[in-house]
Every structure is written in structure tokens, then in C-alpha cells.
Amino acid sequence: MRKQWISIGSIQNYNLKDNILEIDCGELRAEITIMSSNIIRVHLITPNQIKRDSWAIVKQEKPIPKFELSEQPNFLKISTEDLELRIFKNPCRLEFHSADGLLINRDDVAKGMGWDGQQVRCWKEMPEGEYYFGFGEKAGPLDKREQALTMWNTDFIYHYTPSDPLYESFPFFLAFKDGRSYGIFFDNTYRSSFDMGKESADYYSFGASDGPMDYYFIYGPEPKKVISSYAELTGRMPLPPLWSLAYHQCRWSYYPESRVRQIADEFRKRRIPCDVIWLDLDYTNEYRAFTWDKSRFPNPKKLISDLREQGFRVVVSNFPGIKVDKGYHVCDQGLAGNHFVRLPDGKLFVGAQWPPECYFPDFANSRTREWWGGLYKDYLDVGIAGIWSDMGEPSITGIKKTFPLDVVHDIDGRITDHREFHNVYGLQMARAIYEGLLRLQPNTRPFVLSRSGFSGIQRYAAVWTGDNESSWEHLRLTIPMCLNIGISGEPFVGVDIGGFRRNPTPELYARWIQIGVFYPFCRTHTMIGTGDQEPWSFGEEVENISRKYIELRYQLLPYIYNCFYQASKNGIPVMRAMFIDFPNDAFVLEYTPDGNISERQFMFGDWLLVAPIVYQGTHNRIVYLPEGEWFNFWTREKHDGGFPIIVETPLDVCPIFVRGGAIIPMRDVIQYSDQKPIDPLILSIYPSGTSKVQYYEDDGISFNYTKGEFLLVNYTCSKTDKSITFEISEREGNYKPKPRNYEIKFNIIKPKPGKVLWNGETMAEIYPESELRNKSSGWTYSENQQIVTVKIPDRGKRENIEIIL
């Protein structure tokens, strides 16, 4: 019989060992670990506690951070450079303060942390005006205040609003109030829940059905610092292959081979850029994973080779359900190696996935992960470029939708049940794939896409939001869903462009592709039985709109690659909520007639603000521009920030605004990402005050950058009333691109400048403008566009451009 809730009581004794404060409170104990100056781990020790290694936290050897422990009459105080933690004695309750004494967060006095013999929970006071973001893949509004949320990976078929939970679980949130932020990561893989004020307006709480109360408190105060610190805990994403950042085309399913070739030919004939064609499960032989249906794909190696000559790569779906079939090599190997999960009585668990009877690998076990990862050799041998890890919730056909909770998992000798491992099954499946691909091709960056995940999935895979619907409601949902997943530590996130279920109208697809090219992962996908959903499937007008925006994605590939480089270094999302970049602008979380500002527009990297159209029949919309100078990307009109504006939005226009000071690396339109080297490297500059940008480049495919084969250059632009000065630093790193030129575009310059100097020497003005590409250097001025374009060779040396106004 379950006990009543027991809250942690009064402090009876305490002991400090290195950076861990052990607190004895009778039946319940606590460990407080100072991880860094802004991260503190809180661990409630219950009588039934067993030692568990974290699936989410990256083990790191770090020196003990500087801190002080002192005792006051009523509390213990831990002080770091950023934080002050007060641990009250009677009863034991925690208060987190900033170093300057401002209260950030504190336990609910009545409840604190508690345990009922199995469940664990923590209650925190909930101040007015505090917003809560993150929580991974959740439908609904960006701010989760007054909501109750569950972490239990679930294949919820098709219509996932207002349903909860969904495919991925990220037990992390970022709290934000008056420009300050903190984060809490609850490191527990059991079914867990977060009540963010639905039960009571006075407190929020989080807990789990079993396992430890083990959480990390992360202080900013800047949102970017919270996100970056959380990414350091759970691991930053590796730099992805460049081709994975381009446009992808998919459906359930492209077959037979002739249909795949037709799709590829149409892309090239219609001059719509595309890098990847995806094959869903129907390429397999009667749903046997790691096989080919030779009646549909008689020679996959030749097909993939031919597609590669056209500039395409191929990604295939993969699922954990292994058909029960004697003589099928994966089934036989799995049985022989004892790699499949079992029931408590020792019998193999059999469930339906795609085949009606399947065995399932035990990804808790390192031996099984290694075996599974080795199976991808056959895929690589025929030229497959990436793996789509699907159904890893794990999804089972039928009422229960997943494994029985008593299915046994072997964590390298520690036996547990599915209650503990369920939420990380997909994470460890993605890990098995990523590590397997890495062993098989040690100098090629793996690409894995996973539907299921847990905190830390970014170390192994990109994610997407699963089986959405072709509706305006689901188009609107994509913004807060992607933003919250980004806040939760996964920068590489996308959505099925156009919707998976049902058929989009031409207008809906046009609006969806406009926002879709700004999803970090950019793929059109639809289900079996729906109409064609290629960019040319909706008539000439929508085809032209699709081409325009997909071409823009390709022009921006150098910028996008640099956004991902930053994410690999600091964990900051590529697609991000407005408050992350503008924490001191309270209006970014306000409501307009179009809805909450942060749910209707977002930043894409440091410099681009995207305000897509998400309502049917909309021909104008309100866009809020934070303080500073902003420029309409399409009309080049300048706006002073701090105010909402109304923007006209005919069907071919998605409002995009460039932040003043931007230096955006771009390239010419190409049909696929490695069609030709970057030449010229275009720098699109919007001068405003002084700005500095670091540009990164490498070969886009290998790990040679870890050995110094990369390129780093600093660009600095300064504008005064009399001149604009642009400086290029010397290159860092050993990566040497092929000889090329810079084409530096200074936007919104009027009137025509008097002269342009290059390293102090007057440059030749070139007439007409179109002749500049034929010259080794020079400058032109476009009266209509108000652009000064300067061309110089990229010599890898320090350069100085001065425009005399």
C-alpha cells in the first residue's frame, strides 16, 4: 500500500565533501552539488534509491568551481559568482537568489520536495508574470503557464492537438520574468509530469511515477546563458553535413524505382533546388528492416549512384520492429546474440509494428547497440547517405501503443523494466545508429533523423514533430513547437511541410513552404493515400513561389551553416523565440490581433526576423520590430524598431526583416548544395553603427575540421555620417577554399557614394552593373536598389573597404 506524501523535513546534520553538500533530514536526505557558478544540482535521496547513470547528462571532468559555504541562524548559504542558494533548516527548503540578492526561485514552503514510497515530486512557488518555455515537443501555446504536461513518448496518430504527450520528452523548462531567466532540468526517465499552475495559481510542481528527484537549477540571467548551460550539461549537437541543411523531398512512399527517378528528373527540369529524396518503409521486402524489395528496387546501388550524379542523396527509413521470420538474417542474428527484449518470465516479447509479429532490440544494452549499428554497413555499401529512425517511442500497433511496462531491459548488467527505459528507447536507438555509422565511416558526419527522443537527442540526431495535419491550425502550431524544442536543447528540428495527413490547398502549401525554408530541418512529407505534394503539384503560381523560397534557402546556406556552427558551439537554437534575443523588450511576449507575438514571428539566426502568414486568406499582417534599425528584405524599406507595423502580404510574400548591422554570408542559387564551390562569397551588409560577425567554413562533410581544417574570418562594419568602413581579418585555420571572389553588397546606401577605397587605394567604378562579374575588382552602384556592390578577390588576407558617403 502506497504511503502518504512525505516532505523533506528539518536539517539534522550536514557535511561538505568537495563540491557536494550532504544534508541529513531524517528519512529523506538531500545532496546539493555545485556544478558551476550558475548550475546547482539538487538530488533528493530516498530510502529505496538505487544508483543510476544518466542517459542525458554528458560526463565531464571539470575542476571544482569556486564557492563559499556559510551557516546563518536559519539557513545554510552557498555563494558562487552568479548565485546564492539559501537552504533553510526548519524545514529544509531551497531559495535561489542572484549574486546581487534578487530572489529568483524558491520551494513552496508547505511542500518542498516529497516522496510517497514510489513517486517523487517538487513544488515551487509561482510568481505572477513568470513565463514557462521549453518542455520539448508540446502542442499549444509557446508559454506553458497554467498547463499540465506529461513526459511519456507516445505515437499519437495524426491529430495531435490538444493531445499530450507526443513523440519526444524533454523534461526541461526555461522560466522568464522581467528580463531574467532560469532553467530546471528534471533528470528522470520514468513517466513524469509538470503542473505549471493548473492545480494552483500559487505554485508549480514536477515529479515522476518512480525514480529519483534529481534536478539541475540553471541561472542566466540571460536566456541564452540558460540554454547554453543546459546544452553543456546534456551535450551540444555535432556539426551536421552541409547537405542535410538543404531542401528534402519525401512521402510515404516513393516507389517503384521509376517513380523515384521521375521525381528527381522533375526537380532538375523545373530548376527547383533539392538535395535529398527520402524512401519510406515500402522500399523494404515485406517490412523487413535492412532489406530491399527487389521487385520495386531491383538495383538500389545503381539507382543511388545515378541519383548522386544528378546531385541527390538518398535517406531511408528504419524502424526497430524486426519481423519474426526464421531465415531473415536480422532476426536470426538478434536471436543468436540475445539482443531482443523479454518479458519477466524470460519469453521474448512479440508485438506488432509494421510486420504483425516483431521482436524488438534492447537498446539499453551496449552490446545490442553495437550490433544494431553494424547492420548499416549494407546501406552504406549501396550509397545511402542518412538514416531516418522511426517508431522509436517505441510504437506498437494496438490499444497499449507501446511495450508492456514489465518488459525487461538489461542496462549492461543492471536489470530494469520498461517504465524506466521507455522515454529513452528512441534516444538510444538514435545513438546506436549514429555510433554505428561513425564506426563504419569514421570521417563522414552521420545524419540521423529521429521521431522519438529525450534530452540529449541532439548529440545523435535531428528531430521532427511527427505526423501532423494539412491544416492552418497545424501550420500555426509549428512555430511554438519548433521554438520550444529549440529552447529544450535540440536546434535541428523541423516539421512535415504541407502537413502529413490530408491534402493542403495551394494557398496552404504556398504559405507552408514560405515558413518551411526557415525550419532548421527543411522537408516536405506526406502520407500514403494523399495527393502529390511536390512543389509543382499545386499549379504554376505555387510552383513559382516554392522555387523562389527554396532558392532563398540555398542562397542562405552559408548563413544557415554558420548558424549551425554557432549551435554546435553554444547550443543556441537556429530558429528562436523573440525573447531570447530581446529579453529586455517586454512587448515581444504581448498579444496583437494576430496572436502572441512570439508565436507568430521568430528570429532565424542573429539577423533575420521571419513573420510568416499562418491564417487563410491573409493579405496583410502586424509585425513587431524590436528596438533598433530594421530593413524589409523584399522592399528594402527601413524601419525604426520599438513599434508594430502593418505589412502587405500577397501570396508570394512572407515578411522577412533584417536587423540593422547584419552581415549575412550568401551564395548564388545552386540546384544542390555541393553543385559547385562558393564563388563569389556574397556578404549582404545592412550598415548600422558597428557590428562584427565571425564567418566559419569547412568542407561540409568530414571531421577534418576537428584537426584544424576549417576557416574562420572576422568581418567588421562601421558606419558614420561620412563613411562606411568594412574590414576583413586574416583567416584562421587550415581549410583553403578554391580561389574565389568576395561580392560585398552594402544595402540601403543613398545617395551614390563619391568613391570607394580598397586598402587605401581608389577603386574603379564599373559600368554597367552587370559587368562587375567579369572584372577582377571594382564597384558599382544600383540606383533602384540603393546597393553599393564591391568585388575583390578572397586572398585570405586582411582587407579594408571604405565607402566615402
**Active-site amino acid positions:** 390, 393, 467
Compute the distance between CA of residue 330 and CA of residue 767 in angstroms, rounded to an integer.
67
For residue 615 the three cell numbers come to 491564417
DSSP reduced 3-state for 772 = helix
HEC string of 163-182? CCCCCEECCEEEEEECCEEE
CA distances from 62 to 20, 34, 36, 43, 330 (A): 14, 11, 9, 20, 42
Tally helices (H) and strands (E) across the chain. 14, 54
**What number of other Cβ atoms are within 10 A of residue 263's Cβ?**
18
DSSP reduced 3-state for 90 = coil
Return phi, psi of residue 586, to 5°. Answer: -65, -20
Is 42 within 8 Å of 215 (Cβ atoms)? yes
Q: DSSP code of 63?
A: P
Alpha-helical (H) ranges within 488-605 are 506-516, 540-555, 557-570, 578-581, 597-600
* 381 Cα distance to chain centroid: 30
Is 111 within 8 Å of 7 (Cβ atoms)? yes
Compute the distance between CA of residue 15 and CA of residue 158 in angstroms, rounded to an integer.
53
Nearest 5°: CA angle at 680, between 674 and 681? 80
Each residue of 543-565: b (16+ CB within 10 Å) or e?
bebbbbbbbbbbbbbbbbbbbbb
* Alpha-carbon radius of gyration of the chain: 27
Compute the distance between CA of residue 528 and CA of residue 545 in angstroms, rounded to an integer.
25
Compute the distance between CA of residue 310 and CA of residue 308 in angstroms, rounded to an integer.
5
**Cβ-proximal residues to 137 (8 Å cutoff; 6+ apart), any chain:** 166, 167, 168, 169, 170, 463, 465, 466, 481, 484, 485
CA distances from 767 to 414, 603, 638, 780 (A): 75, 37, 27, 7
CA distances from 452 to 168, 375, 408 (A): 5, 20, 20
Compute the distance between CA of residue 281 and CA of residue 263 in angstroms, rounded to an integer.
18
DSSP reduced 3-state for 396 = coil
Dihedral over Cα of 616, 494, 662, 776: its sign: negative
**What number of other Cβ atoms are within 10 A of residue 501's Cβ?**
18
HSE of 6, CA atoms in CB hemisphere, 13 A? 18
CA distances from 562 to 201, 605, 711, 742, 780 (A): 42, 9, 11, 17, 28
Pick from 404, 319, 272: which is nearest to 672 by CA? 272
Is 699 within 8 Å of 271 (Cβ atoms)? no
**What number of other Cβ atoms are within 10 A of residue 669's Cβ?**
15
Look up cell 541532439; give the residue: 458
HSE of 71, CA atoms in CB hemisphere, 13 A? 8
Amino acid letter, residue 594: D
**What number of other Cβ atoms are within 10 A of residue 346's Cβ?**
7
Q: Is 676 exposed, middle or buried (0-12, 13-18, 19+ CB in 10 A)?
A: exposed
DSSP reduced 3-state for 600 = helix
For residue 655 the three cell numbers come to 515578411
Return phi, psi of residue 471, to 5°. Answer: -150, 155
